[in-house]
Amino acid sequence: MTKREKLLAGICNNPRSVRFDDACRAAELLGFKHKGGQGSHRAFARPGEPELLNFQDRNGCIVPYQARQLIRMIERYSDDKISD
């Protein structure tokens, strides 16, 4: 299992405690680009995807509804061939 697969599987298996840094890294691995955000907020967009990913850092983790959004994107795009 690659680092990419471990990261994405870990997020899917434990959505209540997804680290902010891991969420940002996962979004980038899925082809999303950082579009902005200051301080504890980050926004990511992917060409052709109308839904944005927004993460806020709450004590090192993201909010549960944001983890669910990220998991939807993992399910949608994890089969895309994106390099580690």
Note the pLDDT tens digit of each residue in 5-18.
Answer: 999 999 999 999 99
The string of pLDDT tens digits covering residues 16-73 is 999 999 999 999 999 999 999 888 999 999 999 999 999 999 999 999 999 999 999 9
Give the start-to-end residue ranges of the domains of the chain. 3-77
CATH 3.30.920.30 fits 3-77, yes or no: yes
* pLDDT on residue 38: 83
Q: Which pLDDT band holds residue 80 (cuts at 50, 70, 90)? A: low
The sign one gets for the Cα dihedral 32, 35, 38, 43 is negative
Q: 1: how many CB neighbours lie within 10 A of its CB?
A: 6
